[in-house]
Structure 1
């Protein structure tokens, strides 16, 4: 009972973190379309939150096609996979205990 509740709570928190990061990526992609002021604190925060993950993806996969960077889309797909597979698996495991 306690272990089940603990695993369920961890899965819920992980799901919330993934959802927040998905929104950070979406907002960062939208902001990048309008050429924001690079000294704006919000733009700097978005850059610091997303660029390390984009750099990791770019190291293994060429993501720029026709001047469009597909790294945000790849990261969004990976996060959605994590949410639909691993987090759901945690919830199912917690329910089976």
Structure 2
């Protein structure tokens, strides 16, 4: 059971990180936002990125570091969840 939960948490976090990376890449091309795939990526990633933007000061040059901070938070959260699962189930 523990290994299964660790795998589920790891895969879910990795998918979310790849969605954030896809969003960063897509943002460079100024896509049409009505495309369903692009809308899905933005709707899934926006809650965490908006939360990160609330706590980050503006850079003044148009750079958004919220994806980087979100990825770091996700990795730390994954590490903590895996450690917790391992301590409970293994």
1:61 matched to 2:67: no
1:70 matched to 2:37: no
TM-score (norm 1): 0.79
- Which has the greater radius of gyration? 1
List gaps (5 residues or longer) in structure 1.
none
List gaps (5 residues or longer) in structure 2.
none
Give the length in aligned residue pairs: 89
Higher strand share: 1
Q: Hey, what does 2:43 align to over in structure 1? A: 48
Q: Hey, what does 2:27 align to over in structure 1? A: 32
1:90 matched to 2:89: no
Partner deviation per Cα, 1:8-29 (whole Å, 9 max, x = no partner)? 3222211111011011001111
TM-score (norm 2): 0.84
Give the distance between the partners of 1:76 and 1:16, measured in 2 at CA.
14
